[in-house]
Amino acid sequence: MDTDWLEDFLALVDCGGFSRAAEQRNVSQPSFSRRIRSLEDWVGATLVDRSTHTMRLTPAGERFRVFAEEALRRLQFGREEARSVAKTASETLRFAATHVLSLTFFPAWLRELEAGEPASVTVTLTADNMVACERLMVEGRVQFLLCHHHEAASTRLGADFRSVKLGDDVLLPVMSPRLARTTDLANAPQLCFTADSGMGRILTAAWAAGGRPAPVQPIFASHLASVLTAMAKDDRGIAWTALSLVEDDLASGKLVRAGTAEDDVPIEIRLWRPKARQAPAAEQLWSRVLKSMAT
């Protein structure tokens, strides 16, 4: 059994289709399909229901998904533990963060966390959408995940992970002053998040919990809050974005609120990690995080 097959299988689950998954894995669709078949032959059960247009896992596939994620995670942890025991020359702290927090929160937070402590490890940061960041975490490719969180929104990080709240943020609708003067709010064009965006997931869940309908027929969609914000500045419509990203623009008048404070969606900034013990450098950083939260 090739571990690439497990990564193929999880990519198929994430992407929801063979074509997109094959593109993500940088292989042709026929080759990708053969690898999924090979995995099913090895398991001895059909994992993917191919009788419908929409990709769906069979009951066996749903059950196997849990073990596939755990297997890849344990392999990654085992690799890290072996490297630690072998006393590799340098250690690396690996973070994943959603795009907004990688720009607005991570640099200052890390600097404050490292204050008075000499840098003895290499820190790497991967910035991506929430779906991709969750996958990196589930597969053990990163040790920490920094993201926005809302209790109503689902997450793939279940009982095998834990988190700590680092701060607060707000999702709010904004638009350009010119558009605010010339357009009725009720009929203003909508700039929305795509489904793989963590903020989009949070807004959908929060609106559903509050009985608020989601905007219909957006004229533009992106998983990047920074792109939606730029489009709003360009008079293209109303964009939902993080206050941490547009606070200066609101203060300078480049953007204005497209609603009232009652429309705001409060969210948390959370740092996630696996429950399982990690490399010494990662455990030391986690201890430092907990200590900073207690003071």
pLDDT greater than 90 at residue 246:
yes
Whether residue 279 sits in one domain with residue 157: yes
Question: pLDDT of 162-211, one tens digit each?
Answer: 999 999 999 999 999 999 998 888 788 999 998 778 898 999 899 888 88
Whether residue 285 sits in one domain with residue 139: yes
* Residue 290: inside a domain: yes
Indicate the residue type of 140.
G
pLDDT the model gives residue 87: 53
pLDDT the model gives residue 54: 79
- The CATH number of residue 162's host domain is 3.40.190.10
Whether residue 180 sits in one domain with residue 46: no
Whether residue 104 sits in one domain with residue 244: no
Question: pLDDT of 1-46, one tens digit each?
Answer: 788 889 989 999 999 889 899 998 999 999 999 999 999 999 999 9
Q: Mean pLDDT for the chain?
A: 88
Whether residue 34 sits in one domain with residue 161: no
Question: pLDDT of 137-165, one tens digit each?
Answer: 999 899 999 999 999 888 888 889 999 99
Sign for the CA dihedral angle at 161, 154, 70, 100 comes to negative
Q: What percentage of the chain has pLDDT greater than the value 90? A: 52
pLDDT the model gives residue 117: 65
| Contact partners, residue 195, CB within 8 Å, separation at least 6 | 201
Q: Per-residue confidence at 281, pLDDT binned at 50, 70, 90?
A: confident
How confident is the model over 262-270, as a mean pLDDT? 93
pLDDT the model gives residue 271: 97
Whether residue 230 sits in one domain with residue 95: no
- The CATH number of residue 57's host domain is 1.10.10.10
pLDDT the model gives residue 51: 84
Whether residue 48 sits in one domain with residue 173: no
pLDDT greater than 60 at residue 118:
no
How confident is the model over 214-234, as a mean pLDDT? 89
How confident is the model over 90-117, as a mean pLDDT? 87
Last residue in a domain, options 58, 78, 98? 78
- The CATH number of residue 175's host domain is 3.40.190.290
Whether residue 129 sits in one domain with residue 41: no
* Residue 83: inside a domain: no
Whether residue 226 sits in one domain with residue 173: yes
More reliable by pLDDT, 136 or 78:
136
- Our count of domains for the chain comes to 3
Whether residue 211 sits in one domain with residue 281: no
pLDDT the model gives residue 220: 92
How confident is the model over 253-279, as a mean pLDDT? 92
* Residue 228: inside a domain: yes
CA atoms within 13 A on the CB side of 167: 12
Whether residue 149 sits in one domain with residue 25: no
Q: Please give, one letter per residue, the 3-state secondary structure of the chain.
A: CCHHHHHHHHHHHHHCCHHHHHHHCCCCHHHHHHHHHHHHHHHCCCCEECCCCCCEECHHHHHHHHHHHHHHHHHHHHHHHHHHHCCCCCCEEEEEEEHHHHHHCHHHHHHHHCCCCCCCCEEEEEEECHHHHHHHHHCCCCCEEEEEECCCCCCCCCCCEEEEEEEEEEEEEEECHHHHHHCCHHHCCEEEECCCCHHHHHHHHHHHHHCCCCCCCCCEEECCHHHHHHHHHCCCCEEEEEHHHHHHHHHHCCCEECCCHHHCEEEEEEEEEECCCCCHHHHHHHHHHHHHHHC
Give the global pTM: 0.71
pLDDT greater than 60 at residue 89:
no
Domain with 33, as residue range(s), is: 3-78
pLDDT the model gives residue 116: 62
* Residue 240: inside a domain: yes
Q: What percentage of the chain has pLDDT greater than the value 70? A: 96
